[in-house]
Each structure stands twice: as structure tokens, then as C-alpha cells.
Amino acid sequence: MKKLLAITVLTLAAAGIVTGCSGKDIGRDAALEAAFNDAGVSESDTTRLKVSEDRDDGRKVYEIQFDVDNTEYDYEIQASDGSILSSETENRGGSGVQSNGQSGADDTTSQNGQNAQNNVQDDGQNTQNNGQNSNQGQTNPQTGNANVAVSREQAIETALSRVSGATEQDIRMELDLDDGVYKYEGDIIYNGMEYDFEIDANSGTILEWSEERF
């Protein structure tokens, strides 16, 4: 009986050691360092930094998101050893001229010439199909073709006024048509908090607002 108890104790102890090893966690800062090193940036270069913990196939992982200029980075870092499980980048297109370079300028000129000819030929159809949109665009070009009273800049100002210290770099927002109503939908990631919101594009009223710490 004593030998059996001794074997049981040793087995449990060994299991505890294995569990402890498999539960190793490099920590938030080390995971961030792994992502920043891979992206070739420092934390001071980033905005909209978000770090959350999750489990993937039984493994603890750190999900890290941040923006640098107009590029959004999305990393999944394994917590046990800091290896990068996945990484994605997305260009927000805010600096299209810089991205296209000189060839982009030439292409734009060429495309504009072709578009001008096409517009003359298809003027009748464009007038029928886009009559309202053209008028709306002239009324409020900052919101595209949508006929809304509140400009994008005004909606951004409304949202940022709710988060002290946040700037335009911390916000992502788009105009959406929901059940026939135009809304600005977006989020602000700032200082360890994520703020999700919806703003009526005609009245400027905040329809929804939620806050979550990560």
C-alpha cells in the first residue's frame, strides 16, 4: 500500500511539472516585442494598440493589433515561446498618392482621360443612374455620394469629444446604410480601452456607445 501511494504521489508530481512547463507564459511585454520586431517598428510609432489573450487549439495566444501610419498590423503570438503564429497587414489607403508613387500619378492622368471620354459617351445613362448621387456629392462631397447632413469630420469630432486625449489617429469610422438610415459606425482604440459607436449621419446623435477595457 505504501509503495502504491508513493507511486501515485510521484505520478501526480510529474504531471504537475509537465503542466507547469506547458503553461509557460512569456508575458504581454515580450509578446509585444516579438510583434514590433517583426514589423520593424517601436511602440512609439504605433497607434490604436490593442492586446488581448485568447486560446487557439488549447494554446494560450496573444492577439496584437496596432496601426503605423496607414497600415494596420494584426499578429497572433504564442504565449509559451513568443513564436508568431500568424501575421497580417492591411493598407488603409489613406495615403494613396504615396503608395502609388510616380507611376500612380501617370496612371491617374491616363485613367482620368479615359473616364472623361466614357462620361461623355455615357452621359445619358449616368444622369439617370446617378442623378441623385451627383447632386448629393456636390452638396456634401466629404461623405461621397450619400445625402447626409453630418460630414465625416463632424462625426469624428463628435466621437472624439467623448474620449479625452484621443486623436484622429485613434479612430476608424465608415459610413453605412442600415435599414434605410445612414450611420457612421466605428471604434476608437486608446489607452487600453476600445470604444464602439454609431452616429446618425443626419442628426449627429450618438445612437450607440460601448466601452471595453482590454
Per-residue pLDDT, averaged over 37-41, amounts to 97
Q: Are residues 82 and 143 in the same domain?
A: no
Quote the strand ranges of 40-97, DSSP E: 47-56, 59-68, 71-78, 84-91
Q: What is the per-residue pLDDT across 123-180, written as a single tens digit (0 to 9) for each?
A: 544 444 444 444 443 445 455 567 899 999 999 999 999 999 999 999 999 999 999 9
Domain of 25 in residue numbering reads as: 2-91
**pLDDT tens sequence across 61-78:** 999 999 999 999 999 999
DSSP letter, residue 163: S
In a domain, 131, yes or no: no
d(C-alpha 57, C-alpha 38), whole Å: 24
Domain count, the chain: 2
Domain presence at residue 50:
yes
Nearest-angstrom CA–CA distance, 63 and 32? 9
Whether 25 is in a domain gets the answer: yes
Question: Rg of the Cα trace of the chain?
Answer: 26
Here the CATH number for the domain that contains residue 176 is 3.10.450.40
Asked if 6 and 67 sit in the same domain, the reply is yes
pTM: 0.63
Structural domain contains residue 178: yes
Place of cell 504615396: 98
What's the CA gap between 174 and 57, in Å, rounded? 34
- Model confidence pLDDT, tens digit, residues 143-154: 556 789 999 999
Same domain, 84 and 151: no
Domain boundary among 71, 91, 111: 91
In the sheet that 84-91 helps form, which strands lie side by side, from edge to edge? Answer: 47-56, 59-68, 71-78, 84-91
Whether residue 144 sits in one domain with residue 63: no
